[in-house]
Chains A and B, each alone.
Chain A
Amino acid sequence: MARELPYIAAVQEAIFEEMGRDESVLFYGQDVAPSDDDNFVKAYGRDRVRVSPISETAEIGMAVGLALAGYRPVVELLMAEFMLVAMNQVVNEAPRLRYMSGGQVKVPLVLKAGYGFTAGWAGQHTGSIYGMFMGFPGLKIALPSTPADAKGLMTTAIRDDNPVCYLINYLLVLEHGDVPEGEHAVPFGEATVRRSGSDVTIVATGWTVGRALAAAQTLAGEGIQAEVVDPRTLNPLDTATILSSVEKTGRLVLVDQGTRHGGASAAIAAEVAEHGFGSLKAPIAQVTALDVTVPYSEPMEAFVLPNEEKIAGSVRQVLGEAPVAA
């Protein structure tokens, strides 16, 4: 049975339910359950639910130690940028220890953080920084775009035997949607087709999935059938689903809330250019955030982000229905 839940409640439900299923799951971080009236504390106790100081290196480093000792910590990091404070633990410790040990250890942990909060949070709390994590083998990246996936991907993240950056798009936290009751796991590395279409493939993640679907709706009115693919995880990345969609449509528009260079859309573009070139009838187009720090003032903030109009415009361009810029 499914019922409507907001995205953020679905995330918490997955953690709560996994803690009930598996005693090795721990949940802690800044501002997690400072009160003993918290539902997590009441259900699972202070051994497993703790509020931590503002000490990201210790929080994430401890998660590595807990994982080595057989636990499955979920660390609340609030903002993805706070991981930057502890970048060594995120990218140079957690994902490397298993390989460097010759497979002797495993490091199951979940780094739960919000990103992309382009709601007037200015330059240091708005980044869509998932692309940078793609360069670290061993580190998985989940980007849920719906409440159902928010639950299902968190369940999988907790059960996964590797470090996972589970990134919540903060623009989506109050979005409602059907969420399955009880156990619900969405496998990593399986993209989903949010909308079928035959003319163009749009790949989008997180908040941009909704923007892409809105653009597809507009384009449908013009007789253009866009297929919208949501990878759901960037590592592992389901290139097969993207390639087979491109094989069908022959055109690809990549939408990314992150910056243009060195990011997720660039990585996907490279995969398709290498493995799907024969299917392409037009150059791949990228609709990304501009390569600037996200500005505070609302019109400027909106200007740098991808939106429905930019996506639709890009689709028309790859379909040759608008002048192509030189």
Chain B
Amino acid sequence: MQELDNDRLVWMFTQMLRIREFEERVKRTFEEHPGVIRGHTHLADGAEASIVGSLATLQPGDQLMATYRCHGYPVALGTETKAIMAEIYGRKDGLCGGYGGSMHLVDPSRGFMGTSGIVGQGIPQATGLGWAAQLRSRSHSPQVVLAFFGDGASKQGAFHESLNLASLWKLPVVYVMENNNYNVSTRSEQEDANAAAGEPLSVKAAAYSMPGVTVDGGDPVAVYEVVGAAADRARAGEGPTLVESKVYRLSAHGNIIAPPGVPLHYPEHEAITTFGNREEYEAALRGDPVPRFRARLVEQGVLEADRADRITEEVRAEMDAAVQYALDSPFPEAETAARYDYVYA
């Protein structure tokens, strides 16, 4: 694991900010450009530190898979934000040409091998990528796969089958569970035996004879160190690790679900709408990882406040341009739905 020098720390802050500003624009689109986004979107605000801390461990050839809450990874990996936004807007210039949408971003050129819209189903696929990485490592430098999923997915058979196999075969996979404590609107202690018993969800790793670590997912450096140690272990051929990264989702699970014609929007967080617990949500806002990391870097003298402001302005300009680009991008020609070379390779 490489030491995080000042440039790298500033890079991490910048990527966190880029994810945040991107997601805020997705959310604002529902208000500012009604009807432009269809279906369902899921935002990564609150998980930026976890995402960036994890992705900062990647080395050339490493790969990852994620869930339908997938905007943040390609943003941090360097996929053009205008292409991501255009995909979310269903436009021709979208990352996937408008065939996938918000839940199905993929950029194999950057190791982002895809997502599943179905809870837990990307985990075995990432495990297969892990087998492939193990085979490549026979002739190349060791490579690692990061498998991102939520706490809810850890109640799926796909999770348990995959961790068993990965541990059995010593596959170089780091399973990063972003635990935001809510399955849509159900709290973890209502549906997870470990949570109900007051234990961290990382104890599940013990059942599969692999290390399980819980980390503050609001601290990108802590995440980097934990995921980095797990990645080092995987590269050394010692097998997978389960990392429980505790985050707080700052938006609702997704925009409202409604039939065509009903304007969509983001409701308040489920802590408020389902449980009436505004204090929990406001406490999470006070611990918001993005300003928290900025303050820390400024305090440590890693980043001057002026420079942080300049970065912020640049990021905002980038994201405004992404929105404008996506709005200006044409829709795909309808008949390109019948591109059978996309149905069959």
Closest chain B CB from A101 CB (angstroms): 4
Enumerate A41-59 residues with CB–CB distance to B below 8 Å. Answer: 47-48, 50, 52-53, 55, 57-59
Contact call A62/B131, Cβ cutoff below 8 A: yes
Bound state CA distance, A99 and B341, in angstroms?
8
Interface status of B96 (Cβ within 8 A of chain A):
yes
Q: What is the 8 Å Cβ interface bit string for chain A, positions 215-250, against chain B (1 contact, 0 not)?
A: 000000000000000000000000000000000000
Contact call A138/B169, Cβ cutoff below 8 A: no
Which of B39-47, B50-58, B117-125, B258-266 sits within the interface?
B117-125
Which of chain B's residues have a CB closer than 8 A to the CB of A48?
A: 135
Within the complex, which residue of A47, A69, A107 is in contact with B63, where a contact is CB–CB below 8 Å? A69
Residue ID in chain A nearest B126 by CB atoms: A65
Closest chain A CB from B223 CB (angstroms): 23
Interface status of B98 (Cβ within 8 A of chain A):
yes
Interface status of A316 (Cβ within 8 A of chain B):
no
Which of chain B's residues have a CB closer than 8 A to the CB of A63?
A: 128
Contact call A68/B342, Cβ cutoff below 8 A: no
Which of A5-13, A86-94, A256-264 sits within the interface?
A86-94
Which of chain B's residues have a CB closer than 8 A to the CB of A92?
A: 118, 121
Bound state CA distance, A184 and B311, in angstroms?
61
Interface status of A61 (Cβ within 8 A of chain B):
yes
Closest chain B CB from A200 CB (angstroms): 33
Contact call A93/B121, Cβ cutoff below 8 A: yes
Which of B24-32, B156-164, B228-236, B288-296 sits within the interface?
B156-164
8 contacts between A and B (CB under 8 A): A55-B162, A61-B158, A65-B129, A66-B128, A89-B121, A100-B99, A102-B97, A105-B106
Interface status of B345 (Cβ within 8 A of chain A):
yes
Contact call B133/A69, Cβ cutoff below 8 A: yes
Interface status of B339 (Cβ within 8 A of chain A):
yes
Which of chain A's residues have a CB closer than 8 A to the CB of B104?
A: 100-101
Closest chain A CB from B118 CB (angstroms): 6
The size class of the interface chain B forms with chain A is 35 or more
Q: A93-B121, A101-B96 are in contact. Are A138 and B168 (CB under 8 A)?
A: no
Residue ID in chain B nearest A52 by CB atoms: B165
Residue ID in chain B nearest A92 by CB atoms: B118
Interface status of A64 (Cβ within 8 A of chain B):
yes
Closest chain A CB from B128 CB (angstroms): 2
Contact call B345/A101, Cβ cutoff below 8 A: no
Within the complex, which residue of A47, A57, A93, A99 is in contact with B99, where a contact is CB–CB below 8 Å? A99
Contacts A58-B124, A61-B125, A65-B126 supplied; 14 other A-B pairs, CB < 8 Å: A55-B162, A57-B124, A58-B165, A60-B124, A62-B131, A62-B165, A64-B128, A66-B132, A93-B121, A100-B106, A101-B104, A103-B341, A104-B106, A107-B345
Interface status of B33 (Cβ within 8 A of chain A):
no
Closest chain A CB from B130 CB (angstroms): 7
Contact call A47/B138, Cβ cutoff below 8 A: yes
Bound state CA distance, A65 and B125, in angstroms?
4
Closest chain B CB from A298 CB (angstroms): 36
Interface status of A98 (Cβ within 8 A of chain B):
yes
Which of chain A's residues have a CB closer than 8 A to the CB of B136?
A: 69
Interface status of A251 (Cβ within 8 A of chain B):
no
User: Which 3 residue pairs spanning A and B have beta carbons closest together?
Assistant: A65-B128, A61-B124, A62-B128
Interface status of A106 (Cβ within 8 A of chain B):
yes
Q: What is the 8 Å Cβ interface bit string for chain B, positions 312-324, against chain A (1 contact, 0 not)?
A: 0000000000000
Bound state CA distance, A209 and B282, in angstroms?
69
